[in-house]
Structure formats: structure tokens, C-alpha cells
Chain A
Amino acid sequence: MSQDLPETMHLKVIGPRKMAVDEKVKEVYLPGLDGYLGILPGHRPLNTFLGKGELSFGVKGSLQRIPIEGGYAHIFPDQVLVFVQFSEHEA
């Protein structure tokens, strides 16, 4: 790709009754159906289901983790939209 890759992505993690994350991050790891997906800025557009697992995100070295029960991810080069069902204790 000739155009410059974005340095960060805007991550939104949204549950039915709560917006858990709304910030710029450098990396995101999502529990896909067949294993974890690592997303870096500039990822090609992807729509996918999410399975049960741990969603982690952040700037290199310091990752925050959120347990989720599944959901959908809508991924763009500079944006990651995640709709999830949170695990019981998180909600």
C-alpha cells in the first residue's frame, strides 16, 4: 500500500448498556472464532464474529484486558468498532 499507514486506531468497545473503551490505541487483540486476532493500525477492513475470551488493547508493553462473552468486530485501518456482550462480573 503506497499511502501512509495510520499510527493509531480508534478503538470503541461497546456493550448493550455500557461503553467500556473509547480511545486511541496502538494494538488490539480480539478473541476470534478460530483463535486470537492481532490488529495493528492499517489493518484491512474486516467484519468478524468474536468468541468468548479476553479482549486486550493498549500501547505496546501495557495492555488492558476485558473479558467478553462474544460479539462482533468491525475493523478499519484506523478504527476498530467492537460490539460485545460483557462477561457477568464486568457488566
Chain B
Amino acid sequence: MPALIDLRKRIRSVRNTQQITQAMKTVSTAKFKKAQRNILERRPYWHNMPDMVLDMARWAERKDHPLLMAREEKRLVALIVTSDKGLAGAFNSNLLEKTDEELANRSEKANISLILIGKKAEQFFKHRSYPVLRSYAGQIQNMTEEDLKDLSRYLMKLFVYSETDAVYAAYNEFKSILAPKITFLKLLPLEFSQTAGGMDSLPPDWDPSRVCLLESVLPLYFENQVFHCFYESAAAEQAARMMAMDNATRNADELISDLTLLMNKLRQASITTELLEIMTAVDALAKK
């Protein structure tokens, strides 16, 4: 049986922890609102651009642009987007586990190199054998659009100069506050169906020319895909942390009420014992 004083101490410490989780929840709620607004503003661009780009690519030939070249995947680069900080539930661990599995499946056929965003990814892959080309650990807060553009240029360069045969991305996509969607997809080469379909099979006109348009559109499209990975993950991270901290606060509440109940029971028991002792003593005295 724990002593009363220990219980009181424990309740106090749980209450302190609860205050912290509550504060962290408030902070992540504010950050989440900002991140959510960011992705909601950008989503129309991200979601409509494939319509145009994939349709353009459908009429193009693989040789029209280096980003369309499909090669046998002997070397591949994986861009893995996690978070810098923990306390976000299974946000990072689920993603890393899935990614590790996907990479293991491919590692027999291909040489894999990594580009890591977030401290969690760095910690996880520190003990794996994959070489890391670039690591943005502890920089998520300060990463600007310019940094992401630089990263996308770097990835395109690797691909165009045949230093890699494919670029994959693994990230958490923000689906709802309850759970993110773990996404593992191929960014390069662009995947599209060559078979003409849809509402019209009339070949389009190009102004000025197909190659010229593709040259301008494809890098922009790829850059936006990198933005997509990063910003979706940022929003999902805050949502996950918000949920985790909310759960923690509620658990603390439960724990406090359990402990209080136990403490009251103990106190009651000690009072009863003391009373009993007194009554016994009184009885004994009366009998004399």
C-alpha cells in the first residue's frame, strides 16, 4: 500500500505533466491552423496540375524531355520527410517502418541513397547501410520555399545526369486530424499512361512547341511535388501532435481521478483504523 503522502506527490506530478501537455496542445493547434491554411491554399495548384502535365506527357514521347526518361531502376533516391520533434504519437514510427519495408523490397535490385528531412529520419537511418546524400535535420522550422526549390533542382539534376534512375518520396499526407495517410510514391520518372483516353483523342496544338512547353512545365511540376510532400507532412505533423497531446491530457485526467479515488479510500481506511483503535481503547478502559 502506498503512503498517503506518496499519492499526493504523484497526483501533483501528474497534474504538472498535464499542464505541459495542455500547453503543447494549444501550441500545436495554433501551428496546425497555420499549416492547414497553407496546404488548403496550395492544394488547387497541386491537385489540378497533374491534369495538365500528365495530359501533356500523354502526347509527348519519352525522349522529349529528360524527366520523362524511364530507365531500369538500378539506383534510386528516396526522399523521406519526417519531423524534427517527437511527441506526435506514431507519426514518424509508422512512416519509417513502412518506408524501411519498401526500401528493403527494392534494395536487392537497386542501390538506394537517401535524402532525409527531419531529425527522426536521421536517427532512424543512422544505423542502416543506405548512404545519405543530404540530410535536413533540425531545419524543418526554418526551411523556406527557396530551400525546397534548391532540393528539387538537386533531385532533378541527379536524375537528368543519370546519377539515379528513379526518385521516390515517402511522407505523411494530411488526410484528417485523426490520422495521416502514409504515402510512398515515385516522383521521377513521371508516370503516365501513354494510351490516349478521355473525352477527346484529338491531338492538341502546342504553342510554341511541345518540347519547349514541357521544358518549362515539367520542372515546375516536380518542384510543386516536392512542396506537396513537405507541406503536407508539416500539417500532418501538427495534427498528429495535437491529437497526441489531447490524448495525453485526457489520460492525465483519468489518472488523476483514479489516484484521487485511491487516496480517498486510503484516507478513509486510516480514519476507520484510528477510530477502531480509539473505540477499542475506550471499551478496554470501561471494562476496568
User: B55's closest neighbor in chain A, by CB?
Assistant: A74
User: B205's closest neighbor in chain A, by CB?
Assistant: A46
Chain A nearest CB from B275 CB (Å) reads 73
Contact check, B48 vs A14: say whether CB atoms are below 8 A apart. yes
- Tell me, in angstroms, the Cα distance from A77 to B201 when the chains sit together: 11
Using A15-B45, A49-B216 as known contacts, say yes or no to A77 and B200 having CB atoms under 8 A apart. Answer: yes
Q: How large is the interface on A (under 10, 10 to 19, 20 to 34, 35 or more residues)?
A: 20 to 34
Using A33-B208, A81-B48 as known contacts, say yes or no to A72 and B217 having CB atoms under 8 A apart. Answer: yes
Which of A15, A45, A78 counts the most chain B CB atoms within 10 A?
A45
Chain A nearest CB from B201 CB (Å) reads 10
Contact check, B207 vs A46: say whether CB atoms are below 8 A apart. yes
Using A16-B42, A19-B44 as known contacts, say yes or no to A83 and B207 having CB atoms under 8 A apart. Answer: no
User: A47 at the A/B interface (Cβ < 8 Å)?
Assistant: yes
Contact check, A48 vs B45: say whether CB atoms are below 8 A apart. no
Using A33-B208, A81-B51, A81-B52 as known contacts, say yes or no to A45 and B203 having CB atoms under 8 A apart. Answer: yes
- Per the 8 Å Cβ criterion, residues 18-43 of A in contact with B are 18-19, 22, 32-33
User: A65 at the A/B interface (Cβ < 8 Å)?
Assistant: no
Contact check, B41 vs A45: say whether CB atoms are below 8 A apart. no
User: B240 at the A/B interface (Cβ < 8 Å)?
Assistant: no
Q: Which residue of B42, B45, B205, B217 is within 8 Å of A45 (Cβ)? A: B205
Q: Which residue of A16, A33, A78 is within 8 Å of B207 (Cβ)? A: A33
User: A19's closest neighbor in chain B, by CB?
Assistant: B44
- Per the 8 Å Cβ criterion, residues 63-94 of B in contact with A are none
User: B43's closest neighbor in chain A, by CB?
Assistant: A19
User: A81's closest neighbor in chain B, by CB?
Assistant: B52
Contact check, A14 vs B207: say whether CB atoms are below 8 A apart. no
Looking at chain A's contact residues, the main secondary structure is strand
User: B199 at the A/B interface (Cβ < 8 Å)?
Assistant: yes
Chain B nearest CB from A41 CB (Å) reads 13
| Chain B residues within 8 Å of A75, by CB | 204
Chain B nearest CB from A40 CB (Å) reads 15
User: B245 at the A/B interface (Cβ < 8 Å)?
Assistant: no
| Chain A residues within 8 Å of B45, by CB | 14-17, 19, 83
| Chain A residues within 8 Å of B200, by CB | 45, 76-77
Contact check, A72 vs B199: say whether CB atoms are below 8 A apart. no
Contact check, A49 vs B199: say whether CB atoms are below 8 A apart. no
Which of B41, B203, B207, B213 counts the most chain A CB atoms within 10 A?
B207
Contact check, B51 vs A74: say whether CB atoms are below 8 A apart. yes
**What are 9 A-B pairs at a CB distance below 8 A?**
A12-B48, A14-B45, A14-B48, A19-B45, A44-B204, A47-B56, A49-B213, A72-B216, A72-B217
B residues contacting A by CB (< 8 A) are: 41-42, 44-45, 48-49, 51-52, 55-56, 199-200, 202-208, 210, 213, 216-217, 224
What 8 pairs across the A-B complex have the smallest Cβ distances? A45-B204, A19-B44, A48-B207, A74-B52, A17-B41, A46-B205, A14-B44, A47-B206
